[in-house]
A and B are shown apart, each in its own frame.
Chain A
Amino acid sequence: MNRLFAAFFLFFSFSAPLAAQPSVGAGGAREMKRIAFSVKDGVEVFAESVNGKWCENILTLKVFAQSEDAFSPSVFERVMDKVGVVLENECSAAEQCLIDGYSGKNLVFQGGAEKSERWKPEKGALKVRIRRIQAAAVNQTGSNHARVWTPSVGKQRIEAHIDPSATEYRLYSKDKACSILYTSANPENRMSKWSIVAGGNSCADNLIYGRADVTVFDENGSFVETLDGYFTEGRFTGRRNLNIVLLNRYGYGRNNQNISYLIDTDPELKISYVGYLKAPYNGRTKRYQFWQGCHPFTVAAVAENEEVFLNETVAQNIARTVQSYADIFCPSATRLRFFATTAAQNIAGMDLPDDAKTGNDEALIYTLNMKRNIGKKWEVDKDDSKRLLRMRETERQADKLRENQLMTADYNDLLKSDYLGRLAYMIGADSIENPDEMFWAAKLTGEPVRVNILARVVQTGFSSAFADWPERFKITETDGVLTGGGWYLLNGFFRVASDDEARRDKVRAVLELSVATKCEVEACGEVSDLAELVRRRFERPDWHPYQSKGETP
């Protein structure tokens, strides 16, 4: 027991910095309340509280154990059973919990548990991360039910709102205490008179969340149907408690009513992972079925920039990530449809029917269809990533074409240019200057002038040299720049020689050297090979003007 309390003491010693950080979506002081312990298993369980209140819909638990063995499935499930009993009695509002498990000072377990799953712990940092972002979203949105929440991923913003295209109506109980969001093809004047009777739900926020039994009555008070199952933000999701952050509610006509929900965001790659629910219309009953998104599990990676998908490794990682999402959100799903896009809506097969012809083809990068048997790994069923390959190839060809156009344009310009122009091109300068002109410019302005000059260097010293062509001038600061005599393209500042320099060195001008490019042949005559000049500039040794195969101009 001493070791247990030592660990407990240790927790507070390193959780102090954590407490100093503001909690996500709340600015109050963070404390810990011990809610359970097991002497037999050497475990203590603490709930994080904000401003003294620890009971929330989503709890954050810290579990301290004497040994890592306490987090083995058999032991930890037993511990969480006890936690569930405590929560049942002391915090009936709790639906989920995020768990960080420590052994000594090491974080050895991250995961979560849900009331609907009888608080059976599930390990996985990814799942925890998703729930954290969802919890943050719920906290931020408060009672606005995510309508105004806008996840920001770079410049890409996904507006969370109910679109007028959604055939959705809010149905209230007679006392107005509860309401649901009901999808119907009936006109509004009828639907405004429909009502519900809700049972098994507190309706604390007016919209029904979680498990409930709702009966719908029409304008005449006649029974329409009973919705017995789970609700997410007032929308019936059948027997699945999705507990997700809804984004957009919209539709494309009667047969395509959609909800998108945020799964996760990747700030580094600037990707939002968005899932989709549909409410199929039953023509026989003229009613919509519950919202469903697992058969198939449909997910989109919405990127600000499509180039992110061009990296093969990144694309593979994205594919693995969406498989994990499928495991988390829809463990029973056997089909997965993945869409790499730059838009979160209006894609055929994603939120539009497969055969839709009005989709946003420009936004779709590629699709991937996968299938599996329960408990088995995902396998690619239909790979449309050839579209990506095509795009890559098109882009590569476009780049190559663009480069060829630039090279050809350069080549044609060089054909029209004179020797000076070709020399300037060789060193990437605008022009080659004339010493006479630059001497007078320097003399009349009283300032050195930046120049590029072709010169023959004939006499080199330790840190200075002389040029004898096109005129005699002194070159200074040559150490490490000039390697000897010969022809050079010199870059530096040209100035008027001082009286001393003029008398001693018999020059009128001095070049303070910055960069020197040695000519391969006399007077940099290599510039007469225009194609080679262009090849060097673009580092394309295989290039030929006019695209003539193997033929030099």
Chain B
Amino acid sequence: MTGGMKLALSILLTLFFSCAALIIVLQKEETGQTVARTLSQNGLKGAVSFSGASFTVSDKMALKNVSLVFREIPAFKNKIKSFVLHSYRKERGILSDLSMTARGVRFKVSDLVRLTAASPSDITDDFKNFDPVEGLISQPLHALLLAGCDDVDATVKASYRYFPDGGNMLLSADVDDACVGRFETEILLSGITNEKDGRFLAAFRHLFLRGEPMKDIEFFLKGATVERWRFSLSERKAVTGYKQFVDRLYLRFPGTESRAEITPEGIRKIATYLSFSNAHRQRNFELARTLAAFVKNPVGISVKSKSGKAVPLNKLNGNFLRRFVDLLLRLDVSVVNESGSGN
């Protein structure tokens, strides 16, 4: 997993759960004043700031104008207009239920790219050598910029449920951004011990304090099994913008074929790539065709695993993309292109 991917994953997870994590460490607070005091006691005084806290009848807590300071990139400017904690429950001292909504999550992707680059010449080289296919995986932040999505202004809804007795965890997220589009996902994991659950929550804390969040995440995922997974993407500007970038990159002239589209040759290549994970060639072709159809007319796409399929993550091998494909095919996913036919 590349540095860019780790960073992107960190940011994504942060969007989902960062504010929830704050609440975890602020379990017993009742007022804005005590929230601030608890932040200070947990060493997060400089990491989180907000303009006010309140309590409603239906929700546990609401914070206004929150901004976060990340340990690795302290100069990263971000703002969350409002954060609402809908539910929060513990069983036998272990957090078992949490749901939240963050509205007006705003930051610039370009700030992240600039602040995480080793040197200015690295920035130039990264863009000069950007590969439009591999870059989607290895440099997602660069890809977002090139797609025209610099300003993020998103609403993030997230929920967390943990069942200590069964060792199961259910995570869901709903991110709706004006440029990227709407991304919804829900995943059910099994084999999650209390220790793993603790490391999962510690990962968020380590985004602000000394520690290694990615090691926490790796520990959390090690030995876990994916029981169910669905995700969907509704396009707004990102896919279309990225296709335009690819057309400009390859000097597409009017009336000529776009290299941003997945051609029959491209479909064959994707099907062949999928075949290394699953020999069901007919289904692989259908998956590739559905993906090509989405790229051609990007409206929405959804992926859903088949019930009864469970995939231990430690069974997956290869690079990130290969593991990802392995996981999807072992879960026997169905892919639906919302603008047309699906599998």
Chain A residues touching B, majority SS: helix
1/0 per residue, CB under 8 A from A, across B216-259: the answer is: 00000000000000000000000000000100111101000000
A441 with B110: CB separation less than 8 A: no
1/0 per residue, CB under 8 A from A, across B114-151: the answer is: 10010011011001101000000000001001100000
Contact of A438 among B120, B127, B253 (CB under 8 A): B127
Interface residues of A in 521-543 (CB under 8 A from B): 523
1/0 per residue, CB under 8 A from B, across A432-455: the answer is: 011111101101111101000010
Q: Name the CB-closest residue of A to B247.
A: A470
Chain A to chain B contacts (Cβ below 8 Å), 16 pairs? A418-B250, A420-B250, A433-B128, A434-B245, A436-B146, A436-B248, A437-B128, A437-B130, A437-B249, A440-B113, A444-B117, A444-B120, A445-B121, A454-B251, A470-B248, A471-B248
Q: Report which B residues bind A (CB closer than 8 A).
A: 110, 113-114, 117, 120-121, 123-124, 127-128, 130, 142, 145-146, 245, 248-251, 253
A441 with B123: CB separation less than 8 A: yes
Contact of B128 among A418, A419, A431 (CB under 8 A): A431
CB distance from B246 to the nearest CB of A (A): 10
B248 with A441: CB separation less than 8 A: no
Q: Name the CB-closest residue of B to A423.
A: B251
Given contacts A437-B146, A440-B110, contact A445 B123 (CB under 8 A): yes
B124 with A449: CB separation less than 8 A: yes
Kindly list chain A residues whose C-beta atoms are within 8 Å of the C-beta of B253. 523
Cα A183 to Cα B340 in complex, Å, equals: 106
Q: Which 8 A-B pairs have the closest CB atoms?
A: A445-B120, A437-B127, A470-B248, A441-B127, A441-B124, A444-B114, A434-B249, A444-B123
Q: Name the CB-closest residue of A to B119.
A: A445
Per the CB 8 Å criterion, the residue count for chain A at the interface is 22
CB distance from B256 to the nearest CB of A (A): 10
Q: Report which A residues bind B (CB closer than 8 A).
A: 418-420, 431, 433-438, 440-441, 443-447, 449, 454, 470-471, 523
Cα A440 to Cα B109 in complex, Å, equals: 11
**Listed residue (B113, B127, B250) with the most chain A CB atoms within 10 angstroms of its CB:** B127
B146 with A440: CB separation less than 8 A: yes
Cα A437 to Cα B120 in complex, Å, equals: 14
Q: Name the CB-closest residue of A to B125.
A: A441
Cα A433 to Cα B250 in complex, Å, equals: 10
CB distance from B60 to the nearest CB of A (A): 40
Cα A443 to Cα B113 in complex, Å, equals: 11
CB distance from B113 to the nearest CB of A (A): 6
Q: Name the CB-closest residue of A to B148.
A: A436
A443 with B127: CB separation less than 8 A: no
CB distance from B4 to the nearest CB of A (A): 14
CB distance from A486 to the nearest CB of B (A): 15
CB distance from B151 to the nearest CB of A (A): 13
Kindly list chain B residues whose C-beta atoms are within 8 Å of the C-beta of A444. 110, 113-114, 117, 120, 123
Q: Name the CB-closest residue of A to B147.
A: A436
Q: Name the CB-closest residue of B to A438.
A: B127
Kindly list chain B residues whose C-beta atoms are within 8 Å of the C-beta of A440. 110, 113, 127, 142, 145-146
Given contacts A420-B251, A436-B248, A454-B251, contact A443 B110 (CB under 8 A): yes
Cα A470 to Cα B114 in complex, Å, equals: 25
B245 with A436: CB separation less than 8 A: yes
Cα A454 to Cα B110 in complex, Å, equals: 26
**Listed residue (B124, B142, B145) with the most chain A CB atoms within 10 angstroms of its CB:** B124
